[in-house]
Amino acid sequence: DTAVSQTPKYLVTQMGNDKSIKCEQNLGHDTMYWYKQDSKKFLKIMFSYNNKELIINETVPNRFSPKSPDKAHLNLHINSLELGDSAVYFCASRQRNEQFFGPGTRLTVL
């Protein structure tokens, strides 16, 4: 019954590795997002997709590449992980002006 789900919940990896986070929503929404929440709890948008099309890219390094195979899924691939990428990444979907967040993926880069 989970509306917005993410996998994995926790991700611990070494600097320089490549990793992916997956997101799925079963709400039938057209728009999905990726947010990054840093250690000070500041939540900042990274990307937004509408019906598989990229509509917002907030000056995120090229190492981050979102992919939307269909409108229910929005995955995030990160190349050459850096220490500063350690954060909690949240996926969200939108209906009108309300956004619904997933449980988050806590990424730790060692």
Partner 1 sequence: QKEVEQDPGPLSVPEGAIVSLNCTYSNSAFQYFMWYRQYSRKGPELLMYTYSSGNKEDGRFTAQVDKSSKYISLFIRDSQPSDSATYLCAVTQGGSEKLVFGKGTKLTVNP
Stretch that binds partner 1, among 11-19, 21-29, 61-69, 92-100 (CB under 8 A): 92-100
Cβ neighbors of 41 (< 8 A, separation 6 or more) are: none
Q: What is the 3-state secondary structure (H, E, C) of 35-91?
A: EEECCCCCEEEEEEEECCEEEEECCCCCCEEEEEEECCEEEEEECCCCHHHCEEEEE
Could you give the string, one character per residue 48-87, with x where binding to partner 1 holds by CB under 8 A and - elsewhere?
A: x-x----xx-x-----------------------------
Cβ neighbors of 2 (< 8 A, separation 6 or more) are: 26
CB of 16 to partner 1, least distance (A): 27
Could you give the string, one character per residue 19-48, with x where binding to partner 1 holds by CB under 8 A and - elsewhere?
A: ------------x--------xxxxxx--x
List contacts with partner 1 (CB under 8 A).
4, 31, 40-45, 48, 50, 55-56, 58, 90, 92, 97-104, 106
